[in-house]
A and B are shown apart, each in its own frame.
Chain A
Amino acid sequence: MTFQPTPTQIARIKAAVFVACLMPLALLALRAWRDQLGANPIEYITRATGWWTLTFLMITLTVTPARRLLSMPWLLRLRRMLGLFAFFYASLHFTTYIWLDQFFDFSDIVKDVVKRPFITVGFTAFVLLIPLAATSTNAMVKRLGARRWQWLHRAVYVIGTLGVIHFLWLVKKDIREPLVYALVLAVLLGARLVFRWRERARTKAPTVRANSHPARAGIGPS
């Protein structure tokens, strides 16, 4: 039997996940307070927040395959929060860059965004995240309609890919870590293709799918 939590249990799980998602920030703050960020603290903060942004994007993208493979549909209830945490860390990452790294030198920032391909890609990913965060409320889902909302939120596949390219392009020579992320992303996106093929094969058969209604299937990009 797979675990199917009651509404109270779900509320507790959500609270626990919320606290867990704040741990990277808490740890970073603790290190900063103890003066343990090393010789180049700004670089440390930039890298830590960037790393967590990409990691949260990957965790968010894991929800759909996990809930299917584990038959735990309730996992979907965590997805919005995880996605918003990805946006939260991206905002910290971006703020670190604008404030600590460039110190609001906007002419330099524009030059950077245009000239440095890895910044261009990261910036695009961040800009694309904004509408997703802005339309994350239930009210927005209703206003847009499930279909359009779902279509918009497929942008997360592009954002994840841009995030990995950003990482690949910023390292000097040792691309092992970005390659691990590329692999994880490939598996996560590949899983969706497999699901889709299977579904297509099934819909060819005359039976009506039980899951076809967005409200029950859990709307959103899978």
Chain B
Amino acid sequence: MLIRRSTDIIPSEITPRALFEDRRAFLRDAGLFAAGLAVTGLGARAVQAQGKPFAGARKSPLSVAEAATPFKDVTTYNNFYEFGTGKDDPAERAGTLKPRPWTISVEGECAKPKRWDIDELMKLAAVEERIYRLRCVEGWSMVIPWNGFPLSELVKRAEPNSKAKYVEFVTLSDEKQMPGVRLPVLDWPYVEGLRMDEAMHPLALLTFGLYGDLLPNQNGAPVRIVVPWKYGFKSAKSIVRIRFTETEPKTAWNKAIPSEYGFYSNVNPQVDHPRWSQAKERRIGEFGKRATLMFNGYGEQVASLYAGMDLKKYY
């Protein structure tokens, strides 16, 4: 697939300043020890040496050159209903999640179904650093340096057959580890889905870490997807099953309130949520609001996936 770069996506090689600032933000929040090292002049290299598995990950040219949201905000302001419906619930309550050992079952319409061990899966391809915008359906946004590799790498290995039109992602649903699933707020387990071409798109990221380290539990450890041109809830967390299907998966939010959350849920400033406008967003850490971009600013890369579709109908 041809990927053209939009004007605001600049190869990271020519944006040392942005990266430098990211690192500074990261250092600020990486705890006393790391901060102490930085202050004593050992600098970023020393921090990387502290067992952060993705600290040296290759910087992807698909990254945006925008200031990353501080680590603290990324890891304390989350929607992860399996741990409660408050934004601070996941950070407070996700300690009970056990991300190791963990297996992900890849199944359905494919030639090579397989149960992957998480550590084996993580070695399937080179993990990159991808700095993406994240736009929540609630009207706020962040910029997050994720660590992962294209979802297509895993999909290809499974050799989906001709019936495989969609990919379904199923999140763990375990009362013992996830206090939130005791309440029927959503129809557990949490299910998300993508069309096959969306799943194969180079921007769709199978994600294992953020800010160079393994994913914190509240951000969807040990493995999640990140689909940056869609509202945040499309990016399923703590995935235990990936299934190729012929029919459109019945996704959690779509089942809960079909008039408000469509299967596609592409970021679209022109299609309002029935209860609020989607034209603007508040970037976490900023005071005023900024305009929301079509496909969250990834239009040049993904608009062709939806050519000829009425995005007001397929919201």
Q: Which residues of A contact B (CB under 8 A)?
A: 38-40, 42-43, 100, 103, 108, 111-112, 115-118, 169-170, 172-174
B275 touches A39 (CB 8 A): no
A39 touches B76 (CB 8 A): yes
Residues facing A in B69-104 (CB within 8 A) are 72-73, 76-77, 81, 85, 87-88
Binds A, one of B41-49, B263-271, B282-290: B282-290
Minimum distance in angstroms from B200 CB to a CB of chain A: 31
Provide the main secondary structure of the chain A interface.
Answer: helix
Residues of B within 8 A of A115 (CB): 272, 277
Question: Which chain B residue has the least Cβ–Cβ distance from A100?
Answer: B287
A42 touches B73 (CB 8 A): no
B277 touches A40 (CB 8 A): no
Minimum distance in angstroms from B258 CB to a CB of chain A: 13
Q: Which residues of B contact A (CB under 8 A)?
A: 72-73, 76-77, 81, 85, 87-88, 138, 140, 183, 185-186, 256-257, 272, 275-277, 280, 282, 284-285, 287-289
User: With A39-B284, A174-B85 known to touch, is A103 a contact of B289 (CB < 8 Å)?
Assistant: yes
Contacting B282 at CB < 8 Å: which of A40, A108, A170, A174? A40
A117 touches B277 (CB 8 A): no
Contacting A173 at CB < 8 Å: which of B87, B88, B256? B256
Minimum distance in angstroms from B289 CB to a CB of chain A: 7
Residues of B within 8 A of A103 (CB): 288-289
What is the bound-complex CA distance between A116 and B81, given in angstroms? 24
What is the bound-complex CA distance between A9 and B94, given in angstroms? 50
Minimum distance in angstroms from B216 CB to a CB of chain A: 14
Contacting A40 at CB < 8 Å: which of B85, B256, B280, B284? B284
What is the bound-complex CA distance between A118 and B277, given in angstroms? 12
The 8 closest A-B pairs by CB, nearest first: A39-B77, A39-B73, A174-B85, A39-B284, A174-B185, A116-B276, A173-B185, A103-B288
Minimum distance in angstroms from A176 CB to a CB of chain B: 8
Residues of A within 8 A of B138 (CB): 172
Minimum distance in angstroms from A43 CB to a CB of chain B: 8
Minimum distance in angstroms from B141 CB to a CB of chain A: 11
What is the bound-complex CA distance between A112 and B279, given in angstroms? 11
